[in-house]
Structure 1
Amino acid sequence: MSNPKTSPAAPSPTLPANLSARLYNADLAPTKLVGRKWTGYSIFTLWANDVHSLGNYAFAVGLFALGLGGWQILLALGIGAGLLFLLLNLSGYMGFKTGVPFPVMCRISLGIHGAQIGALLRGGVAIVWFGIQTFLASVVFRVLLIALAPSLQSLDNNSFLGLSTLGWITFLALWVVQLTIVSFGMDMIRRYEAFAGPVILVTMVALAVWMFFQAGGSIALSTDRGLEGAEMWRTILGGGALWVAIYGTFVLNFCDFTRSSVSRRSITTGNFWGLPVNMLGFGVIVVVLAGAQFKIDGTIIETPSEIVATIPNTLLLVLACLALLILTVAVNLMANFVAPVYALTNLFPRTLNFRRAAMVSAVIGLVILPWNLYNSPAVIVYFLGGLGALLGPLFGLIMADYWLLRRAQINVPDLYTENAAGTYFYRSGVNPKALAALVPAAAVSLLVAFLPALTPAASFTWFIGAALAAAIYWLIADRQASYSDVSGESIAVASQH
């Protein structure tokens, strides 16, 4: 992929004819087959970081608090991991074959201009979570700094726009670090993820072993309110479904990463070790941490950061905090920074390249004062929850169009042209039948997510929305005799000149 430090914001004069400056720049161009660098290990380290995020630990420990025991938690996570392995392979293969990022991928089903809907929906969710995750990391950073220099506690007692002086210092420091990494492009993100993955795995395993011995060499495998019968199975299946929904954002824009994969096998291999294998290892760590803490004092932790805060040795406390910071930055980069960067680049290709879009994304993530959003249950539940409920229908639509209707036959150059005869021009650049499938499926998803009467089905909102959008689109979409399978290699080659 082109280097965002040097890539132009407008098309090169040597580009093939008919490419539109409103649809193309070097960062949106399909990647060349030669020079791709994302191996199976690169994909694995994405999951090594993301699976072990603090938010995921809070979710999995929540299953323990609901009354699921050790094997039941592992089964719930295993069901989710198996489904994610399938879904992310489908999504990842799309990126490998076409070489295009997610906003351009959306043009296939939504149209060259309608694609902005999907890109901005995914990017909008991510940009808010980027700010929130940076704030949560800054809380850990504050603990670390106060452990090293207790006198800094005095800077943590005031408030300006919702943050203390120390809070602003730590937030802005992490904000700058993340922006610096992203400004060097996707290859620098790949390198950071490759560095962070082993650090996180070793830290979490060490933390679990330490807690196991703190609990006297045994753990509680469940709380006092163990679930049984139908309620147990409903919670297990619901937990597996919610585990998939947590990754509902990532299954959409996984092609942002796999567009630089060296082979389909690298995607499959990285996903296998990073999803079912790594997720089951994650489940074991969750059971040990939660079970050990429950045995020690009868309480249930919310995240590993609570355990880290109790480490009596200052050096070990600092090292554990550093590992959590490395983890949170890694998760934020892959899950919450790349998507809005590509969404903004797609929206303004003539003025924004990867680096400039990263700066705009970071500034938005700052000015929304994300700590205030995080402290507002209404924002989390209704705004972010509502947007999240729309991602299932969007995924179902894209998958049905690409795999079922087109059978992976894509005319990549037509993704960058405004020619009315282009494959993806549809009606003025928008596919009305895609919207006709997306809107009712999204409405049903929102109803299932928020209506109290439908609460028992709420865990399955993502699947309901995805299946409904796919089914509607399959029924109403135009059937063409054949679809063109045209590579974008010529565009990728020209974009390097």
Structure 2
Amino acid sequence: MCPTDPGAAMEPDHKALAALDPSGRLYNEDLAPATERKWSTYSFFAVWMSAIHNIGTYTFVAGLFVIGLSGWQVLAAILIGTGILFFGMNWAGRMGQRTGVPFPVMARISFGIWGANIPALIRAVIAICWYGIQTYLASMAVVVLLLRINPELQQWQNQSFLGLSLLGWACFILLWVLQLVVITRGMEAVRRFQDWAGPIVWVVMLAMAVWLFAQAGWNIPMDMSVKPLSGGDAFLGVLTGAFLLVATYATMLLNYCDFTRFATSDKAVVRGNFWGIPVNFAAFAAISITMTIGTVVVFGEAITDPALILAKVPDTAVLVLGAVMFIVATIGVNVVLNFVSPAYDLANVWPKHITFKRGGIISAVLALLVMPWNLYSNPVVVNYFLGGLGAFLGPLFGIMAADYFLVNRGIINIKDLYRSDESGAYFFRKGVNPKAIAVFVPTAILAAILALVPAFSAAAAFAWPIGLVTAGVAYYLAMGGAKPAVAAGEPEAELEPAE
């Protein structure tokens, strides 16, 4: 039936949807529209805390200081970037909340029922590789802390297997297993984990900040810069930092519907985004940049890894607590950014046999098999392969957002997302929308060139928004503008209304 609240998703008839896909190539219970909507404002706030409160974010903020921005300029870059991210996530979140479907199913609207596997697999490859790399980096932080607590463990650090020390293997497998335990229990387990994992990281960060403040004589100059930039260079540095922040979370922008499909309301998403992105990110960045400047005052150099700061604390109990916090932080960011998406993406490839749980297990195994320590140590892989794939995310989101908001105007035939015959609205040509592919290929190449070719290094930080805008405009024109409000021959009750 058609919902009375225009902001609510339809109540899906799962049996009817399953009947539309006798081949089993489009439907399973995990890919069907969500029926349980339990994610509140706090749930999304907690998601962002988990995504932000981690070593990578601290290192990103500290890196802006190292390139020459002052503390205040770093905060300005963060505020601009989070403002852009906030509005983008609201758009992405609305798509999921209204339809109740995960990212690979959402991609069927613009790319076709089979063509959707293209953006889904691109997102999955990026997520799986970064899942392994993030786990490796956090495990190395735990190794540093363990060696500080018990120097006798050095003997295990001196022995290696497949390029990683035995102690490194132990820490990596520990984090790998803990994350697998969370994700294989389903999205409700993810929600419950996020509810406490995000806030708990604040404890160790605030404690470390207070300790550094004390060591610095309670005076940390926020106008300090390691190599002050001129007015024009500083302005460009602020904008570059802002768009690099947006590009860093572009993966989440693409598949945010994986989470918002479980939202109680559109307002819950917007409010959670507000407290979780601009407010929470600014606060975490303020702590991070304060700590970075504090390391210059106290130790004479900018330390960009919080684990190395923690290792300097003389109290063993604090070190143990810090190690636990870093484990929690890594699980949080990996579950949000790098684990949920490939679980759905792989399920979309073969839904008859791959559920969300099995997709998560496959993702974790692949992340282990790629031996991420070797990936991370190879600049070609990280910068060109993963960087190139990352540049594709702007055009992908540009196409999907233009299709949902401009071409279809938020009116989506939910049933046809699971219809495998030619009469479906999203069958296009043999299950693929050739116009979406024709737009994606050149705009993705453009974004990749801007991001990777040294001659365009000045524009590299802006590859993502350029790719998004060019792809969105080109797709809208290719599709001939907006469609009629109600597709011919389709009863209005089967359509998803826009607000």
TM normalised by structure 2 equals 0.93
What is the rounded CA distance, in whole Å, between the counterparts of 1:28 and 1:488 in structure 2? Answer: 18
1:85-484 to structure 2, matched below 5 A, reads 85-221=86-222, 222-479=224-481, 480-484=483-487
CA contact (8 A) 1:69 1:226 kept: yes
Q: For structure 1, which segment, 148-157 or 268-277, has the greater mean C-alpha deviation from structure 2 after superposition?
A: 148-157
CA contact (8 A) 2:158 2:165 kept: yes
**Shift, 1:144, TM fit:** 4.0
Q: For structure 1, which segment, 358-367 or 474-483, has the greater mean C-alpha deviation from structure 2 after superposition?
A: 474-483
**CA deviations over 1:344-376 (Å, ceiling 9, x no partner):** 100010111111111111111111111110111
Q: Which amino acid aligns with 2:288?
A: V
Flag structure 2 segments of 5+ consecutive residues without an equivalent: 1-12
SS class of match (2:412): coil
**Shift, 1:187, TM fit:** 0.6
**CA deviations over 1:141-195 (Å, ceiling 9, x no partner):** 3234444544322111111101111221221122111111111101101111111
CA contact (8 A) 2:148 2:311 kept: no
The residue that corresponds to 2:4 in the other structure is none
CA contact (8 A) 2:136 2:373 kept: yes
What is the rounded CA distance, in whole Å, between the counterparts of 2:286 and 2:14 in structure 1? Answer: 52
Q: Which amino acid aligns with 1:481?
A: P
**Shift, 1:488, TM fit:** 8.4
* Partner residue of 1:22 out of 21, 25, 36: 25
**Shift, 1:12, TM fit:** 8.2
**CA deviations over 1:235-283 (Å, ceiling 9, x no partner):** 0011101110001100000000010011111101100000110111012
The residue that corresponds to 1:80 in the other structure is 81
Summarize the Cα distance change of 1:226–1:150 in structure 2 as closer, same or farther, 3 Å threshold: same
Q: Which amino acid aligns with 1:436?
A: A
What is the rounded CA distance, in whole Å, between the counterparts of 1:433 and 1:105 in structure 2? Answer: 17
Q: For structure 1, which segment, 147-156 or 55-64, has the greater mean C-alpha deviation from structure 2 after superposition?
A: 147-156
Summarize the Cα distance change of 1:148–1:307 in structure 2 as closer, same or farther, 3 Å threshold: closer
What is the rounded CA distance, in whole Å, between the counterparts of 2:111 and 2:202 in structure 1? Answer: 39
Summarize the Cα distance change of 1:147–1:299 in structure 2 as closer, same or farther, 3 Å threshold: closer
CA contact (8 A) 1:413 1:486 kept: no
Summarize the Cα distance change of 1:65–1:25 in structure 2 as closer, same or farther, 3 Å threshold: same
**CA deviations over 1:65-92 (Å, ceiling 9, x no partner):** 1111121111100000100010000000
**Shift, 1:213, TM fit:** 1.1
The residue that corresponds to 1:66 in the other structure is 67
What is the rounded CA distance, in whole Å, between the counterparts of 1:339 and 1:186 in structure 2? Answer: 11
Percent identity among equivalent residues? Answer: 46
What is the rounded CA distance, in whole Å, between the counterparts of 2:363 and 2:493 in structure 1? Answer: 33
Summarize the Cα distance change of 1:276–1:70 in structure 2 as closer, same or farther, 3 Å threshold: same
Q: Which amino acid aligns with 1:393?
A: P
**Shift, 1:228, TM fit:** 2.4
Summarize the Cα distance change of 1:311–1:88 in structure 2 as closer, same or farther, 3 Å threshold: same
Question: What root-mean-square deviation, in Å, do the aligned CA atoms of Structure 1 and Structure 2 show?
Answer: 1.7
**CA deviations over 1:382-414 (Å, ceiling 9, x no partner):** 011000000011011111110111111000110
What is the rounded CA distance, in whole Å, between the counterparts of 1:14 and 1:62 in structure 2? Answer: 52
- Alignment length, in residue pairs? 477
What is the rounded CA distance, in whole Å, between the counterparts of 1:224 and 1:156 in structure 2? Answer: 34
TM normalised by structure 1 equals 0.93
CA contact (8 A) 2:34 2:262 kept: yes
What is the rounded CA distance, in whole Å, between the counterparts of 1:198 and 1:25 in structure 2? Answer: 34
SS class of match (1:249): helix
Flag structure 1 segments of 5+ consecutive residues without an equivalent: 1-10, 490-497
**Shift, 1:229, TM fit:** 1.1
SS class of match (2:366): helix
CA contact (8 A) 1:137 1:325 kept: yes
1:5-20 to structure 2, matched below 5 A, reads 17-20=19-22
Summarize the Cα distance change of 1:87–1:421 in structure 2 as closer, same or farther, 3 Å threshold: same
Summarize the Cα distance change of 1:343–1:486 in structure 2 as closer, same or farther, 3 Å threshold: farther
What is the rounded CA distance, in whole Å, between the counterparts of 1:266 and 1:280 in structure 2? Answer: 21
What is the rounded CA distance, in whole Å, between the counterparts of 1:67 and 1:486 in structure 2? Answer: 57
**Shift, 1:220, TM fit:** 3.3
What is the rounded CA distance, in whole Å, between the counterparts of 2:43 and 2:172 in structure 1? Answer: 28
CA contact (8 A) 2:387 2:452 kept: no
The residue that corresponds to 2:5 in the other structure is none
CA contact (8 A) 2:383 2:452 kept: no
